[in-house]
């Protein structure tokens, strides 16, 4: 196997492939230098923000997708579905998952050009650099397309009416579809780079990452939208309109891909500096010590907080709006959060004390789930090498610092949403039921935060992104969802039939949150100190390497 891989590598770096590269304006020598450089950085664990370069994460994703599609294929074979339905199902799943993965990977490669800023002064043209940066997308296709389609393509032979050539047709169609989606994602960001101002390109790229999820959420309203624009739903009875739509869509897609790729390869490196240095937010204004900030410092600090607590609060608050990797991972969740908020407000007519099931039962658990995502990504950032600055402060400072981080998360994600819901629910249910439910929600959400603080491993925004971490969290998320479902069922069938029982559980949860928070803050402080110890060791190793 090793000899085969070496032979393939020699062919790819040989004269035949080099001639093809030169035909597209790619310098083969510099292209392979960049590929080797990115591979070396990945092996040194310095470049793990791209799924296509992290083999461990990519293999785990492929295994999970393969198991999912194998089960789905077995179910459809047992049900003896039609070949056309079977084929359309797996191509639709492939298109949806690849679009979500590839648009995120393309955005992270092109709109966050940290490596490009370093190499912008080198004699590398845009086509060579973008080809090297986006080669890892082919590796993503090489893993995900077979994982989603290999077993289903073979299983299609068991369907009634399937021909012997079905597996080849299925797999070839999926491969072409994956390649077209990859080219479309690259062309889309090429058009963004050409037409969107550099100062807004980061935000535009991150909003684009949320587009696939937004399409999934609104897909249920497609039929209503088509009726509103007077498009017939049964296009089979209107073949002329069907072919017109297909031809128009094909022409627009082809032109978009061609011009987008030309824009991407033309002068990308010329714009890298402007993209990297361009601000995606309003300029910072001079801040003063407002009464709210003073109250937060007192809330966070107590005897050991004070100025360090306020520093932790302000540091994390500002970095949440500025750090690329944090925004990249949370902005795509905004459509889901908006849909959840709409469901909570829409289902709040009946109080949970009436015995009817209402979506408001999920309020504290939805806040806990949001805090889970925030805490899992809070330690990772784009400018993680700047964590050395925390080595310049005394060790006792971090006790107040972690209290400030906790105060920010509790205030922004727990206190403010519950106060907004209190005003709304008091108008709907009356003040007594609203106050009791919001007190219950505050206590339960505080327990979630106390437990999830332990997921922050080190200084916030002080570590590089590790794509393999997400695969480890998948079982934890599935288990957490099951636990939340059990708790909500207990609330509905047992707890909310008695107001005194709800009050007692609220008091117990508040006491548990207090003691768990004290323990988690100590663990968080120890984790920060340990991470900074590793940073100080890395700084000493740097001088040994230079010598």
The pLDDT of residue 304: 46
Location of structure tokens 């012997």? 164
28-83 confidence digits (pLDDT tens) = 888 888 788 777 666 655 555 555 555 566 777 788 888 889 999 999 989 888 88
Q: If you average pLDDT over each of 38-52, 234-248, 362-376, 462-476, which comes out highest?
A: 362-376
The pLDDT of residue 219: 60
In sequence order, what DSSP letters do the residues of 199-236 get, joined into one string?
A: HHHHHHHHHHHTHHHHHHHHGGGHHHHHHHTT--S-GG
Q: What angle do CA 120, 121, 124 make, to 5 degrees?
A: 70
Could you tell me the sign of the dihedral formed by the alpha carbons of 50, 52, 56, 60, in that order? positive
The pLDDT of residue 512: 95
Q: DSSP 3-state assignment of 463?
A: strand
pLDDT band at residue 280 under the 50/70/90 scheme? very low
Is 80 exceeded by the pLDDT of residue 416?
yes
Q: Please state, in angstroms and rounded to a whole number, the distance separating the CA atoms of residues 531 and 123.
A: 38
The pLDDT of residue 543: 47
Q: Please state, in angstroms and rounded to a whole number, the distance separating the CA atoms of residues 540 and 324.
A: 28
Calculate the alpha carbon distances from 95 to 100, 185, 250, 466 in Å: 9, 12, 16, 25
- Answer for the pair 106, 328: CB distance below 8 angstroms, yes or no: no
CB-count burial class (<10 Å; 0-12, 13-18, 19+) for 121: exposed
Report the greatest alpha carbon distance in the chain.
81
In sequence order, what DSSP letters do the residues of 83-101 get, joined into one string?
A: HHHHHHHHHHHHHHHHHHH
Could you tell me the sign of the dihedral formed by the alpha carbons of 330, 474, 362, 104, in that order? positive
Is 60 exceeded by the pLDDT of residue 534?
yes
- Answer for the pair 136, 93: CB distance below 8 angstroms, yes or no: no
The pLDDT of residue 118: 57
Is 50 exceeded by the pLDDT of residue 126?
yes
Where is average pLDDT lowest: 4-18, 300-314, 465-479? 465-479
pLDDT band at residue 268 under the 50/70/90 scheme? low
Which pair of tokens denotes residue 528?
Answer: 């920060």
Q: If you average pLDDT over each of 258-262, 306-310, 329-333, 407-411, which comes out highest?
A: 407-411
The pLDDT of residue 101: 82
Which pair of tokens denotes residue 474?
Answer: 């998948």
As a whole number, mean pLDDT of residues 314-338 equals 80
The pLDDT of residue 521: 93
Tell whether pTM > 0.85.
no
- Least Cα distance to 466 among 384, 529, 389 occurs for 384
- Least Cα distance to 122 among 272, 14, 252, 257 occurs for 272
pLDDT band at residue 546 under the 50/70/90 scheme? very low
Where is average pLDDT lowest: 23-32, 172-181, 300-309? 300-309
Q: What percent of the chain has pLDDT over 70?
A: 72
Which pair of tokens denotes residue 522?
Answer: 């100590």
Q: What are phi and psi of 384, to 5 degrees?
A: -65, -25
| Residue partners of 194: CB distance under 8 A and separation at least 6 | 263
Is 70 exceeded by the pLDDT of residue 432?
yes
As a whole number, mean pLDDT of residues 375-381 equals 87
The pLDDT of residue 303: 45
In sequence order, what DSSP letters do the residues of 346-388 get, joined into one string?
A: HT-SS-GGGT---GGGGHHHHHHHHHHHHHHHTTB-TTGGGGG
The pLDDT of residue 440: 95
137-146 confidence digits (pLDDT tens) = 788 888 889 9
- Least Cα distance to 131 among 46, 9, 18, 221 occurs for 18
Where is average pLDDT lowest: 53-62, 132-141, 412-421? 53-62
Average pLDDT, the chain: 78
- Answer for the pair 456, 375: CB distance below 8 angstroms, yes or no: yes
Q: Please state, in angstroms and rounded to a whole number, the distance separating the CA atoms of residues 228 and 230.
A: 5
Could you tell me the sign of the dihedral formed by the alpha carbons of 251, 256, 262, 265, in that order? negative
Q: If you average pLDDT over each of 140-149, 380-389, 508-517, which comes out highest?
A: 508-517
Is 60 exceeded by the pLDDT of residue 537?
yes
The pLDDT of residue 239: 65
The pLDDT of residue 291: 57
- Least Cα distance to 519 among 447, 430, 434 occurs for 447
What's the DSSP call for residue 331?
Answer: G
The larger pLDDT score, comparing residue 390 to residue 256, is at 390
Which pair of tokens denotes residue 8?
Answer: 């393939």
Is 60 exceeded by the pLDDT of residue 184?
yes
As a whole number, mean pLDDT of residues 308-317 equals 88
Calculate the alpha carbon distances from 111 to 101, 203, 263, 279, 514 in Å: 15, 9, 14, 13, 42
The pLDDT of residue 428: 85
Q: Where are the domains of the chain?
A: 27-215+239-277, 291-546
Cα dihedral value 271, 277, 283, 284, nearest 10: 170
| Residue partners of 221: CB distance under 8 A and separation at least 6 | none
Which pair of tokens denotes residue 525?
Answer: 């402080």
- Answer for the pair 453, 309: CB distance below 8 angstroms, yes or no: no
Q: Which helix (H) or strand (E) holds 156?
A: none
């Amino acid at each position: 196997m090793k000899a085969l891989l070496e032979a393939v590598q020699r062919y790819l770096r040989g004269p035949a492939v080099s001639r093809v590269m030169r035909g597209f304006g790619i310098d083969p020598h510099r292209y392979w230098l960049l590929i080797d450089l990115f591979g070396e950085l990945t092996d040194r664990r310095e470049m793990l923000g791209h799924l296509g370069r992290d083999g461990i994460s990519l293999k785990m994703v492929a295994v999970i997708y393969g198991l999912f599609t194998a089960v789905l294929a077995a179910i459809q074979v047992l049900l003896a579905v039609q070949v056309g339905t079977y084929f359309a199902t797996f191509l639709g799943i492939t298109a949806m998952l690849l679009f979500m993965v590839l648009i995120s990977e393309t955005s992270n490669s092109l709109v966050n050009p940290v490596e490009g800023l370093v190499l912008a002064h080198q004699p590398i043209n845009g086509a060579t650099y973008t080809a090297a940066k986006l080669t890892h997308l082919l590796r993503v296709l090489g893993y995900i397309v077979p994982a989603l389609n290999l077993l289903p393509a073979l299983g299609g032979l068991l369907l009634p009416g399937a021909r012997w050539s079905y597996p080849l047709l299925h797999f070839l169609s999926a491969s072409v579809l994956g390649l077209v989606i990859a080219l479309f994602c690259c062309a889309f960001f090429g058009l963004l780079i050409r037409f969107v101002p550099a100062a807004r390109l980061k935000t535009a790229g991150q909003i684009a990452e949320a587009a696939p999820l937004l399409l999934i959420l609104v897909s249920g309203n497609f039929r209503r939208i088509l009726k509103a624009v007077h498009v017939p739903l049964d296009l089979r009875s209107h073949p002329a309109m069907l072919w017109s739509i297909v031809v128009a869509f094909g022409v627009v897609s082809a032109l978009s891909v061609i011009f987008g790729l030309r824009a991407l390869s033309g002068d990308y490196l010329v714009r890298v500096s402007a993209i990297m240095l361009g601000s995606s937010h309003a300029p910072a204004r001079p801040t003063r010590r407002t009464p709210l900030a003073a109250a937060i410092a007192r809330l966070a600090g107590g005897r050991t907080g004070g100025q360090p607590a306020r520093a932790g609060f302000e540091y994390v608050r500002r970095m949440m709006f500025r750090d690329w990797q944090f925004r990249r991972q949370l902005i795509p969740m905004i459509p889901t959060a908006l849909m959840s908020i709409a469901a909570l407000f829409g289902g709040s007519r009946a109080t949970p004390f009436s015995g009817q099931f209402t979506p408001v039962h999920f309020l504290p658990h939805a806040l806990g789930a949001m805090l889970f995502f925030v805490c899992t990504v809070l330690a990772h950032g784009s400018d993680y090498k700047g964590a050395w600055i925390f080595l310049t402060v005394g060790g006792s400072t971090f006790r107040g610092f972690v209290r400030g981080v906790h105060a920010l998360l509790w205030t922004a994600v727990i206190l403010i949403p519950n106060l907004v819901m209190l005003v709304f629910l008091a108008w709907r249910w009356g003040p007594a039921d609203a106050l009791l439910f919001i007190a219950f929600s505050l206590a339960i959400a505080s327990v979630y935060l106390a437990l999830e603080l332990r997921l922050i491993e080190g200084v916030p925004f002080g570590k590089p992104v590790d794509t393999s971490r997400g695969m480890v969290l998948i079982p934890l998320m599935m288990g957490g969802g099951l636990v939340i479902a059990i708790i909500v069922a207990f609330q509905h069938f047992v707890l909310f039939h008695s107001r005194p029982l709800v009050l007692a559980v609220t008091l117990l949860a508040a006491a548990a949150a207090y003691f768990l928070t004290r323990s988690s803050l100590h663990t968080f402080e120890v984790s920060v100190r340990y991470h900074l110890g590793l940073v100080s060791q890395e700084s000493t190793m740097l001088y040994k390497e230079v010598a």
